[in-house]
Amino acid sequence: MIFVAVGTQFPFDRLIRCVDEWALAHGVEVVAQIAAGEYLPIHARYERFMTTEAFNQTLKAASLIISHAGMGNIITAIESSKPIIVMNRQYELGEHRNNHQADGLEWMAKLPGVYTAQTCEDLNALLDQHDSLTASGQVGIERRQNLINFLDQAIRA
Stretch that binds another protein, among 20-28, 36-44, 57-65, 149-157 (CB under 8 A): 149-157
Q: Segment 16-45, which members bind another protein (CB under 8 A)?
A: none
Q: According to the binding rule CB under 8 A, does residue 146 interact with another protein?
A: yes
Tally Cβ neighbours within 10 Å of residue 92. 9
| Residue 148 binds to another protein (criterion: CB under 8 A) | yes
- Smallest gap from Cβ 11 to another protein, in A, equals 14
Q: Is 49 in the site for another protein (CB under 8 A)?
A: yes
Which strands make up the sheet holding 45-47, listed edge to edge? 45-47, 30-33, 2-5, 64-68, 84-87, 114-117
* β 30-33/2-5 pair status: parallel
- Binding to another protein by residue 112, rule CB under 8 A? no
- Compare residues 84 and 127 and give the one whose CB is closer to another protein: 84
* DSSP3 helix / strand / coil % (the chain, rounded to 5): 45, 15, 40
**73-102: contacts with another protein (CB under 8 A):** 73-76, 78, 97-98, 100-101
Residue 64 three-state SS = strand
CA atoms within 13 A on the CB side of 6: 26
Interface with another protein includes 57 (CB under 8 A)? no
